[in-house]
């Protein structure tokens, strides 16, 4: 397995750099978002899955109070006080781990330093949440080492706080929850108001393709935060015109949006339409999966991407090319962008028997238009984050 080889590479690099064995090793997967785009911070519903690509994090204790943190792919190391990590402008990659350390310190201050290293196999900028995989693998390993009791939701919130305060992205909890709560051959169904998490079997007659455009999205550039602010503005408006309480766009139905959208400026109205419609698609999708209606579920994925393209405007031409092409590929049931958008990957629902031919067809379409083929991989719904030692 690719994950196993990454694990061994990490251990070898750790031994070479630090001259000893790690005391704790944790693994956390990336995630694929299947339905429910930008609904998490609107207190809505999401269907996602932990995937068979992720991040490993290894550490060993030191006798002083310093953390030495190494990115195993580029072998670059930063040092910082374990009990007082600060965000860095020079080594942005370190902020995800520093933010997690700060969150754990709020529960129990670090009593000693560590030598740490991480390495993963999630393509950066692919929309499969390499950042959350790093945060959750680091969180598990550090919590175990420092003997800090932290439950699933609390650890997810620590990762979210790291994104907010150290990386500058106002993300919801989707990525962290998906990484922690994944289950083999099942989708994770998350209610981001109650934080009730359950799984829904996908079945053996469907799998996912990841089609990575290699267009690097950068959510810290403000586009993600702008979309979130528009959703919050719309929620305040609907709270003022609807006869029932509105805490977030989760509380607004599609019919209510249609009836009252004229009171919003055109851009904010379209931004709000996206998560409102997504919530309804997720709830419909759960029932379709329970009824084994994969064709109906796939249509919801196409509808979701259309909303991303026209309402939320978080797609891009490369993503649109793949989704448009997928509509004509035999065996493909549905396709949409996955993650924050603005680049990254398309997730394609396909019959397993057709996965290879569908992947080849999509690579060829993309290559003819852009001069280089997109990367494709079969995605397996996998178990969530866990300790390896």
Q: What is the mean pLDDT of the chain?
A: 94
Residue 339: what pLDDT? Answer: 81
- Catalytic site residue 226? no
Which of 209-223, 268-282, 369-383 has the highest mean predicted lDDT (pLDDT)?
268-282
The pLDDT tens digits for 181-190 are: 999 999 999 9
Higher pLDDT, 94 or 224: 94
Residue 234 has pLDDT above 60, yes or no: yes
Residue 281: what pLDDT? Answer: 98
Helices (H), 77-203: 95-105, 130-146, 152-162, 174-181
Residue 75: what pLDDT? Answer: 97
Residue 359 has pLDDT above 60, yes or no: yes
Q: What is the mean pLDDT of residues 203-228?
A: 81
Residue 297: what pLDDT? Answer: 98
Q: How far apart are CA 389 and CA 23, in angstroms?
A: 7
Residue 2 has pLDDT above 70, yes or no: no
The pLDDT tens digits for 64-95 are: 999 999 999 999 999 999 999 999 999 999 99
Cβ count within 10 A of residue 295 = 11
Give the containing element (helix H, strand E) for 118. Answer: strand 114-120
Residue 343: what pLDDT? Answer: 86
Q: What is the mean pLDDT of residues 121-133?
A: 84
Out of 64, 83, 115, 175, the active site residue is 175
Higher pLDDT, 221 or 246: 246
Residue 262: closest CA among 249, 272, 247, 251: 272
Q: How confident is the model at residue 3 (pLDDT cuts 50, 70, 90)?
A: very low
Phi/psi for 155 (5° steps) reads: -70, -40
The pLDDT tens digits for 198-210 are: 999 998 889 999 9
Residue 32 has pLDDT above 90, yes or no: yes
Whether the CB-CB separation of 68 and 79 falls below 8 Å is answered with yes
* The model's pTM: 0.88
Q: How far apart are CA 44 and CA 299, in angstroms?
A: 20
Residue 230 has pLDDT above 90, yes or no: yes
Residue 1 has pLDDT above 50, yes or no: no
Domain ranges in the chain are: 2-201
Domain 2-201 is found in CATH 4.10.140.10: no
Q: How confident is the model at residue 15 (pLDDT cuts 50, 70, 90)?
A: very high
What DSSP designation does 126 have?
S
Residue 170: what pLDDT? Answer: 80
Higher pLDDT, 156 or 173: 156
Q: How far apart are CA 80 and CA 94, in angstroms?
A: 10
Residue 218 has pLDDT above 70, yes or no: no
Higher pLDDT, 338 or 276: 276
Q: How confident is the model at residue 4 (pLDDT cuts 50, 70, 90)?
A: low
Return the beta strands (E) in 196-264 as ranges: 196-201, 207-212
Residue 219 has pLDDT above 70, yes or no: no
Q: How confident is the model at residue 169 (pLDDT cuts 50, 70, 90)?
A: confident
Q: How confident is the model at residue 225 (pLDDT cuts 50, 70, 90)?
A: confident
Q: How far apart are CA 197 and CA 199, in angstroms?
A: 7
Cβ count within 10 A of residue 352 = 12
């Amino acid at each position: 397995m690719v994950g196993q080889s990454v694990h061994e590479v990490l251990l070898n690099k750790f031994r070479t750099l630090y001259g000893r064995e790690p005391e704790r090793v944790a693994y956390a997967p990336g995630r694929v978002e299947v339905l429910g785009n930008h609904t998490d911070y609107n207190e809505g519903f999401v269907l996602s899955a932990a995937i068979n690509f992720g991040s490993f994090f290894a550490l060993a204790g030191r006798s002083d109070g310093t953390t030495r943190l190494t990115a195993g792919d580029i072998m670059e190391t930063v040092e910082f006080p374990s009990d007082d990590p600060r965000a860095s402008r020079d080594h942005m990659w370190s902020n995800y781990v520093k933010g997690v350390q700060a969150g754990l310190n709020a529960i129990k201050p670090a009593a000693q330093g560590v030598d740490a290293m991480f390495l993963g196999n999630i393509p950066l900028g692919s929309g499969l949440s390499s950042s959350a995989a790093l945060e959750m693998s680091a969180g598990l390993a550090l919590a175990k080492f420092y003997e800090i009791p932290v439950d699933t939701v609390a650890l997810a919130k620590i990762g979210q706080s790291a994104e907010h305060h150290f990386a500058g992205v106002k993300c919801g909890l989707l990525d962290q929850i998906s990484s922690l709560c994944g289950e083999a051959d099942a989708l994770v169904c998350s209610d981001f108001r109650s934080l009730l998490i359950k799984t829904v079997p996908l079945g053996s007659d469907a799998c996912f393709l990841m089609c990575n455009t290699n267009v690097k999205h950068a959510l810290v550039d403000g586009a993600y935060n702008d979309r979130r602010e528009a959703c919050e503005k719309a929620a305040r408006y609907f709270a003022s015109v609807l006869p029932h309480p509105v805490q977030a766009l989760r509380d607004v139905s599609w019919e209510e949006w249609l009836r009252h959208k004229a009171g919003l400026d055109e851009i904010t109205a379209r931004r709000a339409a996206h998560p409102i419609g997504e919530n309804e698609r997720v709830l419909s999708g759960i029932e379709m999966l329970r009824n084994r209606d994969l064709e109906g579920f796939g249509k919801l994925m196409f509808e979701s991407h259309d909303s991303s393209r026209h309402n939320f405007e978080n797609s891009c031409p490369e993503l649109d090319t793949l989704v448009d092409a997928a509509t004509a590929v035999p065996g493909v049931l549905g396709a949409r962008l996955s993650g924050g958008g603005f680049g990254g990957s398309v997730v394609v629902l396909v019959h397993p028997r057709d996965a290879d031919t569908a992947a080849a067809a999509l690579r060829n379409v993309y290559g003819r238009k852009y001069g280089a083929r997109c990367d494709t991989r079969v995605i397996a719904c996998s178990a969530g984050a866990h300790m390896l030692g």
